[in-house]
Structure formats: C-alpha cells, structure tokens
Amino acid sequence: MNTRIIAAALGAAALVLPAAAVADPGHGHKPKKAKTVTFVFKGTFTAPGTVSVLSGNAHIRKGGYVGQSISFDLATAKIVAVDTNADQKVDLGDVADGDKVLVQARVTKGTKYVAPAEGETAAAIAARKLIDQTRLSTEDAE
C-alpha cells in the first residue's frame, strides 16, 4: 500500500513539473531597459530652441553631433541665465540668439545623430537644463 502512495505522488509530481517549466519561458530573467545617460551639448543658441553644436561630452563626439544644428524641447527644461528683460523671472526670453549655451539632456546611451530626410524636420530632444554661458560670464566679470 505504501508503494501505491509513493507511485501516485511521483505520478502527480511528473504532471506538475512540465506545466511549471512552460509557465516561465524567461527563466526568471526580466528584459533589460535601455540605459539613459546625460548628453552635454555646447554651442550657439538660435531661437526657437535650436543649438548649433560646437562641442560636448564623449556621447556628443562619438554620436556625431558636433557641427550639427539640434532642436530641443525646452518646455520643461530648467533655464539658468541672467534676467536680461527685467521681468523678474528667468525664462527662455532671457536667452538671445548667438549666446553660447550648454544644454543637458537624458538620451539613450549610444544614440547617434541621424540627419532628417529632405523636407522633414528632426525630432526635438527633450532638454533637462539650459545654461546661458554668455550672460553668466559677463555678469560675473562685472
């Protein structure tokens, strides 16, 4: 009688194990998320949010962004500049065309510059911070 119980338990275990193996095809591994890194663009600002990139960090140089004009979405970006229009707040209106700026953006690691097709506009990169280096360095010198 004990052999019947053992045989029944082994038979039930044999039926349960294949079902458990099929239920988890990933073997417990989660898919990897794309890693984002900070891209630091340095260049000349032109309204309405385009920067002609002159230099930057390693991600900029390796991605082929140097020498290109990049559009930025500055709606949620922190603006660091001098209040040049005296409206008691620092915003994009305080950054003039031709100012040297530094723009920080979180972008997927390894992103390369892709020129937009003829007649199309490039997608804007969401910027986290824009620093007007021309006005800040002028104010510091005084």
| Ordered DSSP codes for 24-36 | -TTTTPPPPPPPE
- The strand pair at 100-108 and 50-56 is best described as unpaired
What pLDDT does 12 receive?
61
Share of residues in the chain with pLDDT > 70 (%): 77
Per residue in 40-81, pLDDT (tens digit) is 999 999 988 899 999 999 999 999 999 999 999 999 999 999
Spans of all domains in the chain: 36-141
Place 108 in a pLDDT band, splitting at 50, 70 and 90.
very high
pLDDT exceeds cutoff 50 at 141: no
What pLDDT does 14 receive?
62
pLDDT exceeds cutoff 80 at 17: no
Task: Give the N- to C-terminal CA distance of the chain in Å, as an integer.
Answer: 99
Of 17-21, 53-57, 82-86, 135-139, which gets the smallest average pLDDT? Answer: 17-21
Which strands, in side-by-side order, build the sheet including 69-73? 78-80, 129-132, 100-108, 36-46, 50-56, 69-73, 125-126
What pLDDT does 94 receive?
87
Q: Which of 116, 95, 94, 108 is nearest to 35 (CA)?
A: 108
Taking residues 5-34, report their average pLDDT: 64
What pLDDT does 31 receive?
85
Taking residues 91-95, report their average pLDDT: 87
What pLDDT does 115 receive?
86
